[in-house]
Amino acid sequence: MRSAKMKRMPESDSNALGLYFSVPFCRAKCTYCNFASGVYPASEHGRYVERLIADLEGSAAWAEAMGVELPRAVDTIYFGGGTPVLLDGALFAEISAAILRIFAVNEDAEITVECAPGQLSDGMLAAMVAAGVNRVSLGVQSFVDREASLSGRLHTRAMVLEDLRRLRAAGIANLNIDLLAGLAEQTLASWRASLAVLVEAETPHASIYMLEVDEDSRLGRELISGGARYSAGLVPGDDAIAQMYEEAVAALAGAGLKQYEISNFARPGLESAHNLRYWQRRPYLGLGLDASSMLRAQSSDLDGLVLRTTTTDDLNAYQDGTGSVETAWLGPAQRLEEAWFLGLRRNCGVGIGALCAEFGAEAVAPSLEVARRLAEDGLVAMDSDRVWLTERGRMISNDVFGEFLGLASQPVSRLAS
């Protein structure tokens, strides 16, 4: 099928929708990965895309049945994974064409595709360009080949640099590179080497993550149990990982990449518009395996409520339509909690006046007391109208966010359908 460039609307809409597509296919499962992705045969790709398109086509009816607003205007589209670029270019074109049939994409929409270095075919690259993709995020994690290999990555530093060249030659210059602090055998010296290559690559955006230790990844389970598989014994300690993060902040600032969120750095005007919508609590529709959505209630009877949903993480159940969808209606109290822990992720922090305008000064008062206490502990800073994380607060951000939870009651309802 021939790819069509996505139609654009001449003006953006502050209430426009974001679309997220989960593509869970990988050539290898990284040891640290805690996403719902895996190694599946290419024969599954067509069936999966058919289901994605069916969900797109049924989204308006689903939204009506759920009683939520589904804006037709779209200003961000994000293909995440897994490894979306493993799709055949013709399948990607089918998704793009389906978006055109159902939604109106703004003229200046940001359209992002995640890319595993060394796995972007010429056909897929051509399909991306034809579809109007204007941003690519490369999951590099390390420019040290040995570290990448130990974590299950299949690329080399040379492959990454070649993909950057190809993307720029194709006209896609808005590029992001992910690095991960905490890989097996990683040292401060090797981390600095990766940072140096990132800076030299001159991408306008970078994401710096610290290793998450949880039971949702093979490496995390091994670290929790004290085992040695997946080179768990070679993972650097918490203090070393924290120092790596701090050095990354300084190095990227020196290269003109300003930190605007805990993990994200960009040149002015090139922040990730799609990720910003999550932290700004703007509406988005997630389609595919383990994809999340956030949409506002349509009915005046549900005024002030927001619907959050997450699809099943079972691939077979998703594809045959038997998987459950986790659904939660959040009232004003729960939305206020989200405003704090999502807003504090951003360097600009949380606007007190905006919170009071949205939720009322009386509702905001208890959380402001929490903020004042955290300010005394040096974890946040605040002035007359804003609260933001300090450098120390960013290092233990999850603990800070937890202080704003529990001030509200449980979600209004929680259903499975």
Cβ-Cβ contacts under 8 Å for 178 (sequence gap 6 or more): 137, 138, 139, 140, 141, 206, 207, 208, 209
d(CA 138, CA 174): 11
Name the residue with higher pLDDT: 132 or 214.
132
Q: How confident is the model at residue 29 (pLDDT cuts 50, 70, 90)?
A: confident
Q: How confident is the model at residue 13 (pLDDT cuts 50, 70, 90)?
A: low
Highest mean pLDDT among 40-49, 280-289, 403-412 belongs to 280-289
d(CA 92, CA 175): 20
Domain 8-277: homologous superfamily in CATH:
Aldolase class I (3.20.20.70)
Q: Which of 352, 324, 325, 330 has the alpha carbon at shortest distance from 281?
A: 330
Q: Phi and psi at residue 179, in whole multiples of 5°? A: -125, 150
Helix or strand or coil: residue 181? strand
Q: Which of 14, 9, 4 has the alpha carbon at shortest distance from 104?
A: 9
Q: Is the predicted pLDDT of residue 161 greater than 90, yes or no?
A: yes
Q: pLDDT above 90 covers what percent of the chain? A: 78
Q: How confident is the model at residue 35 (pLDDT cuts 50, 70, 90)?
A: confident
Give me the pLDDT at residue 301, please.
63
Q: Is the predicted pLDDT of residue 37 greater than 60, yes or no?
A: yes
Q: pLDDT above 70 covers what percent of the chain? A: 93
Q: How confident is the model at residue 81 (pLDDT cuts 50, 70, 90)?
A: confident
Give me the pLDDT at residue 63, please.
96
Give me the pLDDT at residue 41, please.
83
Q: Is the predicted pLDDT of residue 163 greater than 90, yes or no?
A: yes
Q: Which of 145, 155, 216, 215 has the alpha carbon at shortest distance from 183?
A: 145
Q: Kindly report the CA angle at 353 between 347 and 359, in degrees rounded to 5?
A: 105
First to last CA, the chain: 34
d(CA 59, CA 365): 38
Find how far residue 5's CA is from the centre of its chain.
24
Give me the pLDDT at residue 215, please.
75
Q: What is the CA radius of gyration of the chain?
A: 21
Q: Is the predicted pLDDT of residue 164 greater than 50, yes or no?
A: yes
Average the pLDDT over each of 48-62, 100-114, 354-368, 401-415 and give the range with the smallest value.
401-415
Q: Tell me the per-residue pLDDT of 362-404, one tens digit each, with 9 for 90 and over.
A: 999 999 999 999 999 999 999 999 999 999 999 999 999 999 9
Q: Is the predicted pLDDT of residue 193 greater than 50, yes or no?
A: yes
Give me the pLDDT at residue 224, please.
81
If you search the block for the tokens 């449980």, which residue do you land on? 410
Q: Phi and psi at residue 207, in whole multiples of 5°? A: -125, 130
Query: Out of 1.10.10.920, 3.40.190.10, 3.40.50.300, 1.10.10.10, which CATH number does the structure's domain 332-408 have?
Result: 1.10.10.920
Give me the pLDDT at residue 398, please.
94
- Return the domain boundaries, the chain: 8-277, 332-408
Q: Is the predicted pLDDT of residue 39 greater than 80, yes or no?
A: no
Q: Tell me the per-residue pLDDT of 203-255, one tens digit each, with 9 for 90 and over.
A: 999 999 998 877 777 777 877 888 888 787 788 899 999 999 999 999 999 99
Give me the pLDDT at residue 12, please.
40
Evaluate whether 327 touches 315 at the Cβ level (below 8 Å). no
Q: Is the predicted pLDDT of residue 8 greater than 70, yes or no?
A: no
Look over the chain and give the mean of its residue pLDDT values, rounded to a whole number: 91
Give me the pLDDT at residue 408, please.
54
